[in-house]
Chain A
Amino acid sequence: MTRDITVGQFLPGHSLLHRLDPRTKIVLTFVFIIQVFISRSALSLCFLIFLLLFLIACSHVPARKVFRAVRPMIPVIVFTALINIFYVSGDPVFHYSFIRITDQGLFVGFTLLVRLTALIAGCSLITYTTSLNALAAGLEQLLAPLKRFHFPVNELSMTLSITLRFLPTIAEEFDRIIDAQKARGADFSNGNLIKKIHAYFPIILPLFMSSFRRAFELTNAIECRCYQGGNGRTKMNVLKLSRLDVQAIVFFCVAFGVSIAFNLFFPSFF
């Protein structure tokens, strides 16, 4: 299961999406997600899904990979959708004692499924097409105005990029420790829930120990490379908005306009 952690797995490439400025991508992804969540009309939602599929096609990232990030989240998504099916009021299509399923509930539940999938796919698409350093640099630039309020923007982006960089490493370690404990006769599949949780202590503890050790070594390595916080740092890749970014922004403005128009003029559910 841990192999499914795809956040922060950059696939180098030269597609349109790869060449966009990270700031453009962050802002547009953010707006896209808001759109997906506020859109009230089925037509607009369909349109946004097509937009997402179009973007995936533009990115040269296999769609399979993009949607793989959704897989570990399926239980959460399905659970949230089910809750909504049962709790939204409207015209009942199914009624048995206290269970009431309404047509609106079905719609809300189903669209939530779509919305959450689009959210995760959108986020994983940006991490597939943007290197972590670019992502951190983009975020840093976007948040730069906060520096005036003594907000540690640079340190925050450094923390973020190190977190993302070490996620796969620690996932790998997690697998290794499980194997090591299994080899010593640990049992993770039998017993009740409490027993199962107990079985995981001998994994979490070594994982913490080794993560701390990694952290100390990393601190040394970073200090050796003269890191002194954000002050006086320069960047090898200076972010510059290109013509492509302007085109992308215009394209998305039109697309979002269309989506809003669908919402205004076709507000029906079906």
Chain B
Amino acid sequence: MSALIETKNLHFQYLHHQSQNEWILNGIDLTIRNGEFIAILGSNGCGKSTLAKHFNALLTPSDGTVLVNGRDTNDEKNQFEIRKTIGMVFQNPDNQLISTIVEEDVAFAPENLGIAPSEIRSRVNWALDAVDMLDYKRHTPFKLSGGQKQRVAIAGILAMRPQCIVLDEPTSMLDPKGRSDVMKTICRLNRELGITIVLITHHMEEAARAKRVILMDQGQIASDDTPENTFEQIELLKKLKLDVPQITELTHRMRQHGILIPKRMVQIDQCVDALAAALEERYGHY
């Protein structure tokens, strides 16, 4: 797998902070490869959103470099190409939709790319199909639920055919149903279309769906590992004021009470099986 995004010694601060020498990002070295599914976790103000904005040149480093497919984000000539490669979805779906018709909104990005009308139409249909919203293409977004709007926003990015989509807390304003629909869509994009996903979140259950979890603390990377290994670092999670996932918490406590349950579990069904097995071993068949 080739490197898609590479940050080298990335430092960042906003102009008005420059006198205080206060870094929002303080030396980030990170390589994101094609096809990965990464979750970035961290408490508020740890710099995770700021980092995400560096991936598609919305922000450029104060020091260090960010390369996307080998192109430097600092060079303005590269910005168009970079934004086409790395799409970004934000928290509030209302502030991303610019049209009153779903399909016209999805068409906005390909229209900006200067693609032929017939090609735009096929891309729009494809993108709406990929997020399971094709039935709503003539609808107005106002009447959709939060989860549906967010999926339309994802389709709007998808229509550019990016290699990677960065999602900045895409589910934090949604109800549980919308959240699970959006998460299903994200997982499917990664699995079936091979699109690299960078998911910024503070929901542990969502991070557990990723293949790699990055913990951030005060502008630095505190941990970069598989979700299984990351969630075993209970002390670190608590230090960063992050919740420990329910599964980890449960199995951790059961182990403390002498019930043998294997470590490194993050998926619910996996955990259910292990629990059943452990209980069966201890109490026999019902």
Residues on A close to B: CB < 8 A? 8, 10, 12, 131-133, 161-162, 164-165, 168-169, 214, 217-218, 220-228, 232-238
Chain B residues, CB < 8 A from A232: 114
Chain A residues, CB < 8 A from B23: none
Please pick, from A133, A168, A226, the residue contacting B113 in the complex, using a CB distance under 8 A: A226
Chain A proximity mask over B68-98: 1 for CB below 8 Å, otherwise 0: 0000000000001001100110101011111
Interface-facing stretch out of B1-9, B99-107, B267-275: B99-107
Interface assignment of B47: CB less than 8 Å from any CB of chain A: no
What size tier do the contact residues of chain B reach?
35 or more
Chain B residues, CB < 8 A from A168: 142
Minimal beta-carbon separation of B102 from chain A (angstroms): 10
- B138/A228 in contact, CB under 8 A: no
- B108/A234 in contact, CB under 8 A: no
Provide a sorted-by-A list of 17 A–B residue pairs whose CB atoms are within 8 angstroms.
A12-B101, A133-B99, A161-B99, A165-B97, A169-B94, A218-B95, A218-B98, A220-B53, A220-B58, A220-B90, A221-B96, A223-B58, A236-B103, A236-B107, A236-B120, A236-B121, A237-B117
Take A161-B98, A236-B117 as given contacts and tell me if A227 and B104 are in contact as well, using a CB distance cutoff of 8 Å. Answer: no
Please pick, from B87, B90, B97, B110, the residue contacting A236 in the complex, using a CB distance under 8 A: B110
Minimal beta-carbon separation of A223 from chain B (angstroms): 6
| A-B interface contact total, Cβ < 8 Å | 102
Take A12-B139, A221-B95, A224-B58 as given contacts and tell me if A234 and B115 are in contact as well, using a CB distance cutoff of 8 Å. Answer: yes
Take A131-B104, A165-B99, A221-B95 as given contacts and tell me if A226 and B140 are in contact as well, using a CB distance cutoff of 8 Å. Answer: no
Q: A217-B92, A234-B117 are in contact. List 5 more A-B contacts (CB 8 A).
A: A133-B101, A165-B100, A221-B95, A221-B96, A232-B114
Cα–Cα distance between A226 and B156 once the two chains are bound (Å): 11
Interface assignment of B15: CB less than 8 Å from any CB of chain A: no
Take A10-B140, A217-B92 as given contacts and tell me if A228 and B101 are in contact as well, using a CB distance cutoff of 8 Å. Answer: no
Cα–Cα distance between A227 and B121 once the two chains are bound (Å): 18
Chain B residues, CB < 8 A from A237: 104, 117
Take A133-B100, A217-B96 as given contacts and tell me if A224 and B87 are in contact as well, using a CB distance cutoff of 8 Å. Answer: yes
Minimal beta-carbon separation of A226 from chain B (angstroms): 4
Please pick, from A162, A218, A227, A233, the residue contacting B96 in the complex, using a CB distance under 8 A: A218
Chain B residues, CB < 8 A from A227: 108, 112
- B117/A235 in contact, CB under 8 A: yes
- A222/B98 in contact, CB under 8 A: yes
Residues on B close to A: CB < 8 A? 53, 56, 58, 80, 83-84, 87-88, 90, 92, 94-101, 103-104, 107-117, 120-121, 124, 138-140, 142, 153, 156-157, 160
Minimal beta-carbon separation of B261 from chain A (angstroms): 43
Chain B residues, CB < 8 A from A221: 88, 90, 95-96, 98, 153
Chain B residues, CB < 8 A from A8: 100
Cα–Cα distance between A233 and B242 once the two chains are bound (Å): 44
Cα–Cα distance between A131 and B108 once the two chains are bound (Å): 14
Chain A residues, CB < 8 A from B108: 225, 227
Minimal beta-carbon separation of B144 from chain A (angstroms): 13
Chain B residues, CB < 8 A from A162: 98
- A225/B117 in contact, CB under 8 A: no
- A225/B109 in contact, CB under 8 A: yes
Closest to B99 in A: A133
Cα–Cα distance between A222 and B97 once the two chains are bound (Å): 9
Cα–Cα distance between A227 and B140 once the two chains are bound (Å): 22
- A133/B83 in contact, CB under 8 A: no
Cα–Cα distance between A220 and B91 once the two chains are bound (Å): 12
- A132/B100 in contact, CB under 8 A: yes
Minimal beta-carbon separation of A22 from chain B (angstroms): 13
- B111/A235 in contact, CB under 8 A: yes
Cα–Cα distance between A12 and B157 once the two chains are bound (Å): 24
Cα–Cα distance between A91 and B56 once the two chains are bound (Å): 74
Take A10-B140, A12-B139, A217-B95 as given contacts and tell me if A225 and B112 are in contact as well, using a CB distance cutoff of 8 Å. Answer: yes
Closest to A132 in B: B100
Chain A residues, CB < 8 A from B107: 236
Please pick, from A133, A164, A218, the residue contacting B104 in the complex, using a CB distance under 8 A: A133
Minimal beta-carbon separation of B196 from chain A (angstroms): 16
Chain B residues, CB < 8 A from A225: 83, 87, 108-109, 112, 156-157, 160
Chain B residues, CB < 8 A from A222: 98
Chain B residues, CB < 8 A from A161: 98-99
Chain A residues, CB < 8 A from B157: 224-225
Closest to B115 in A: A234
Chain B residues, CB < 8 A from A233: 111-112, 114
Return the 3 tightest CB-CB contacts between A and B, nearest first: A225-B109, A236-B107, A217-B95
Cα–Cα distance between A131 and B107 once the two chains are bound (Å): 14
Chain A residues, CB < 8 A from B112: 225-228, 233
